[in-house]
Amino acid sequence: MKLKKLILPLASFAMALFVGGLLVAFSDAKVLALKSQPLSMLSHAFSTAGSAYWALFRGSVFDPRLAEDHWLHGFYPLSETLVAATPLILTGLSVALAFRAGLFNIGAQGQFIAGAIGASWIGFTFELPYVIHTIAAMAVAIAFSGLYGGFVGFLKAKTGAHEVIVTIMLNYVAGYFLLWLLSTTAFLRPGRQDPLAPEVHKTARLPHLFGSDLRANLGFIVALAAAAGVWWLLNRSTWGFKFRAVGANASAARTAGISVPRVTTSVMFIAGALAGLGGAAQILGSEPAMTAGVGGSFGFDAITVALLGRATPLGTVFAALLFGGLRAGGLTMQASTETPLDLVLVIQALVVLFIAAPALIKSLFRLKNIETGETMASKGWNG
Amino acid sequence: MSTSEIRTLSAPERRRKRGVITMAVLGLFGLIFFAFLPKTGQPVTYNFVLGNEWVLMKEWIINSKTGSLGFSLLSLAGVALAAVQFRARKTIRFASAIFGFAFLMSFLCWSAAGKFIPFTGLLQGALLLSVPLIFGAMAGVLSERSGVINIAIEGQLLAGAFMSGIIASLTQNNWLGLLIAPFAGAAIAWLLAVFAIKYGIDQVVLGFVLNVLVIGLTNFLYKKLLIPYQSTWNAGGTFAPIEIPILSKIPVIGPIFFSQSIIVYLMYVVVIAIHIALFKSRWGLRTRSVGEHPTAAESVGINVNRVRFRNVVIAGAVAGLGGAFFTLGAVGSFSKEMTAGKGFIALAALIFGRWSPLGAVAAALIFGFADNLQGLLTITGTPIPSEFMLMAPYIATIIAVSGFVGKVRAPAADGIPYKRGGAH
């Protein structure tokens, strides 16, 4: 029963890797040059795709060449995977939690930026002792991003403004606001022209987990704790029950006496806070100087993580590790095989596309009676 | 006005009332902030001549304080006219247009004190910036009026830009590039249609995934093929502007509307065709009915999903054509993620324009104007940070959907998959 749930995500992932491999192989100039000799073209295509994926593995899990001087260094790529996975877990949880309450949070990116602004501001402006500084920075990040997310829920509850539209727009607003902030004297690093904030103080940083050579830091543990917290909230608390009730059937929940506006607002507040905590973890953990591009593509990545993880906390953690690995490995792949990092984006999109269409995967793999879970049923703008 | 009278106001009347109040507040704000607060006035120079059109007036120089005062008063006159027409239960569209124009001019006089404003060039640039927005918004109208949410506009634009760019470069023929662009957009839309209509998947999720798929694919191929082999893969050109005889000679209007490339003229055709077809033809009636009430549409023998499928694919073709503007109309070659979120501003224009073709065009023009004005003011130096000007379309959309200027309502069945027999 448990295993059956894994078949669809794994089959989707395999399909996406396969299509990605085709893309790598048949956009390669050397492969295309062998058009007249189909057999050697095929073998060359196979080895091109194979070396790209081998580099992907070396960049995300274990690199034997790095292990030669010290065995721990061989796991440097794995540590990079954990670093990349940390913000993905937190933003993914943000989207997953909102999903469970029937809300679609596309605004993880804006909320992430709000959190990063808060953490960065506390981190470089104030002088505080260790631990307290970190906690203060995270608390402010949570407050900023929670309000940024909660505002969406509030608008939806009060005026019916669709959260998808509002969060898309707020992502852009946050991006431009950050750009402006980084041009002000309060946030621009002295002596710099390009948008770059000062580094946060050492006292606010999250400590490294496996010594200073590996970048993996406490942020990953914070993300795991947040996942456990979301699991508890959804499955063991009264609030979570209300969230799920509204997600399953809002009008039935209303009839049962649950205040839907209050649930909408608080779900979006918590979702915003989770995404913002991701921003804080990134600033305090691995990227202490905030840039204009801090938001990356987390809005989309978070959605793919939550969808692949079936909107459950545990699934989200695994999906984030997988995509974090793709991220970290993609950099090595780009450097050593000249395969653009954007392949990762294609693979991510394909995974979600295949997951979203269980009927397609079922017929491709001739699977019967597999667990597909609830598909993402459409609700529409007015819903 | 007694309270019972207020209660009997219909929804459009309430919207108009809120509109009049909003305009009055803005007009007074303009009068105080633009005309009375600045201590000294400086001359503002407006230039009206761009090319070889007939010249009525070459330049107009006015003191910034005088200009702001005059236009603020004109904007308040527009508000007064709107109030009178509201009382007479008439539409306030004309008065609103006067207000909008006067308020903007008042703002321009204030923000460009002591500077030079190429007026005609400003408007021409605004039209060019809104071309992809208008194509994108039209794609949104076609798809969403028939009940399928189209968030993949961005991906459709980008696909059109990419394919038209490389085909024009490989064949050294811009016309072939232009021809292929609608097919590229339609291919993405076809995926949207298959997954959304056949498999009933959430259209918002799907649109997002398709956007990223197109961004990922085009980025990948751009780095792998277009950069290393630029001379073969990414060396298209742009269409030269076509001057329409006589019309292009009209002062101000001529250079803005009638001295443009073929893609802009195609845009006029697309907008007019969609507007007329949507409200006057059998196809339009069917489209709107499956978007509002698919069950009723099916009961009179309309194949709901077939209408939707066709509309989504046509929508993609329109967006793809708009994508060609990025490469063949503006830059001449493809660059990474060159649509830069324009698809989402097009979505905003669609919503801001209440899902109607002409409303969406108006919104797209306003957004394009804001964008271009922002660019101009960044160069000349401005009292407002340019980032806030760039935020304006997004904030305007949030205000629009949260019902501040009247309830914005999507087609009733927009985004809800239809299964025969009416079971959702």
Percentage, residues of chain A above pLDDT 70: 92
Residues 129-168 (A) with a CB less than 8 A from some CB of B:
155, 158-162, 164-166, 168
Q: Is the pLDDT of residue B7 over 70?
A: no
CA atoms of A13 and A344, how far apart (whole Å): 12
User: Which residues in chain B have Cβ-Cβ distances shorter than 8 Å to A340?
Assistant: 219-220, 223-224
The pLDDT of residue A71 is 84
Going by pLDDT thresholds of 50, 70 and 90, the confidence category of residue B405 is: low
What pLDDT digit, counting tens, does each position of A59-91 carry?
Answer: 898 888 888 888 888 889 999 999 999 999 999
Considering only residues B199 and A58, tell me which one the structure prediction assigns the higher pLDDT.
A58
Per-residue pLDDT, averaged over B85-112, amounts to 85
The pLDDT of residue B3 is 46
CA atoms of A320 and A45, how far apart (whole Å): 30
Taking CA atoms, what residue in B is nearest to A182? B387
Q: Is the CB of B415 less than 8 angstroms away from the CB of A380?
A: yes
Q: Confirm whether B157 is domain-assigned.
A: yes
Judgement on whether residues B144 and B48 belong to the same structural domain of the protein:
no
User: Which residues in chain A have Cβ-Cβ distances shorter than 8 Å to B385?
Assistant: 180, 183
Q: Is the pTM of this model over 0.95?
A: no
Q: Is the pLDDT of residue B249 over 90?
A: no
In chain A, how many domains are there? 1
Judgement on whether residues B266 and B176 belong to the same structural domain of the protein:
yes
Q: Is the CB of B391 less than 8 angstroms away from the CB of A172?
A: yes
* Residue count (chain B): 424
The pLDDT of residue A366 is 67
CB-nearest partner of B414 from A349, A360, A380: A380
Q: Is the pLDDT of residue A136 over 60?
A: yes
What pLDDT digit, counting tens, does each position of A138-195 carry?
Answer: 999 999 999 999 999 999 988 878 888 899 889 999 999 999 999 888 888 888 888 8
What are the Cα distances from residue A10, in Å, to A4, A6, A352, A370? 10, 6, 11, 12
User: Which residues in chain A have Cβ-Cβ distances shorter than 8 Å to B195?
Assistant: 353, 356-357
Going by pLDDT thresholds of 50, 70 and 90, the confidence category of residue A378 is: low
Q: Confirm whether B416 is domain-assigned.
A: no
- What one-character DSSP code corresponds to residue B354? T
Q: Confirm whether B211 is domain-assigned.
A: yes
Q: Confirm whether A151 is domain-assigned.
A: yes
Per-residue pLDDT, averaged over A287-294, amounts to 92
Residues 194-253 (A) with a CB less than 8 A from some CB of B:
none
CA atoms of A328 and A330, how far apart (whole Å): 5
Going by pLDDT thresholds of 50, 70 and 90, the confidence category of residue B394 is: confident
Judgement on whether residues B382 and B256 belong to the same structural domain of the protein:
yes
Question: What distance in Å separates residue B246's CA from the closest CA in chain A?
Answer: 42
3-state SS record for chain A: CHHHHHHHHHHHHHHHHHHHHHHHHHCCHHHHHCCCCHHHHHHHHHHHHHHHHHHHHHHHCCCCCHHHCCHHHHHHHHHHHHHHHHHHHHHHHHHHHHHHCCCCCCCHHHHHHHHHHHHHHHHHHCCCCCCHHHHHHHHHHHHHHHHHHHHHHHHHHHHCCCHHHHHHHHHHHHHHHHHHHCCCCCCCCCCCCCCEEEECCHHHCCCECCCCCCCCEHHHHHHHHHHHHHHHHHHHCHHHHHHHHHHHCHHHHHHCCCCHHHHHHHHHHHHHHHHHHHHHHHHHHCCCEEECCCCCCHHHHHHHHHHHCCCCHHHHHHHHHHHHHHHHHHHHHHHHHCCCCHHHHHHHHHHHHHHHCHHHHHHHHCCCCCCCCCCCECCCCCC
Of B103, B119, B135, the residue at which a domain comes to its end is B119
CATH number at residue A177: 1.10.3470
The pLDDT of residue A381 is 64
Q: Is the CB of A180 less than 8 angstroms away from the CB of B213?
A: no
Percentage, residues of chain B above pLDDT 70: 95
State the average pLDDT for chain B: 87
Q: Confirm whether A266 is domain-assigned.
A: yes
Q: Is the pLDDT of residue B98 over 50?
A: yes
Residues 304-343 (A) with a CB less than 8 A from some CB of B:
304, 307, 339-340, 342-343
Q: In terms of residue numbers, what domain contains A185? A: 76-339
Going by pLDDT thresholds of 50, 70 and 90, the confidence category of residue A31 is: confident
CATH number at residue B261: 1.10.3470
Q: Confirm whether A20 is domain-assigned.
A: no
Judgement on whether residues B162 and B44 belong to the same structural domain of the protein:
no
The pLDDT of residue A1 is 47
The pLDDT of residue A383 is 54
A373 in reach of chain B (CB within 8 A): no
The pLDDT of residue B235 is 87
Judgement on whether residues B232 and B303 belong to the same structural domain of the protein:
yes
Per-residue pLDDT, averaged over B162-189, amounts to 95
Q: Confirm whether B335 is domain-assigned.
A: yes
State the average pLDDT for chain A: 89
Judgement on whether residues B32 and B142 belong to the same structural domain of the protein:
no
Taking CA atoms, what residue in B is nearest to A341? B220
Q: Confirm whether A107 is domain-assigned.
A: yes
A381 in reach of chain B (CB within 8 A): yes
Task: Give the residue carrying structure tokens 């698809």.
Answer: B343
Q: In terms of residue numbers, what domain contains B300? A: 127-401
Among the residue ranges A1-5, A37-41, A281-285, B264-268, the one predicted with the least confidence is A1-5
Taking CA atoms, what residue in B is nearest to A337? B224
Judgement on whether residues B69 and B175 belong to the same structural domain of the protein:
no
Among the residue ranges B72-76, B92-96, B292-296, the one predicted with the least confidence is B92-96
The pLDDT of residue B416 is 83
Going by pLDDT thresholds of 50, 70 and 90, the confidence category of residue B408 is: low
Considering only residues B354 and B135, tell me which one the structure prediction assigns the higher pLDDT.
B135
Judgement on whether residues B322 and B199 belong to the same structural domain of the protein:
yes
CB-nearest partner of B216 from A159, A165, A349: A349
Judgement on whether residues B369 and B311 belong to the same structural domain of the protein:
yes
Q: Confirm whether A348 is domain-assigned.
A: no
The pLDDT of residue B1 is 41
CA dihedral of residues B346, B348, B353, B354 (deg, nearest 10): 120
Which span out of B38-47, B261-270, B365-374 was modeled with the highest average pLDDT?
B261-270
User: Which residues in chain A have Cβ-Cβ distances shorter than 8 Å to B417?
Assistant: 377-378
Q: Which of B290, B398, B408, B424 to mutate to test the interface with A (most CBs of A within 10 A)?
A: B398
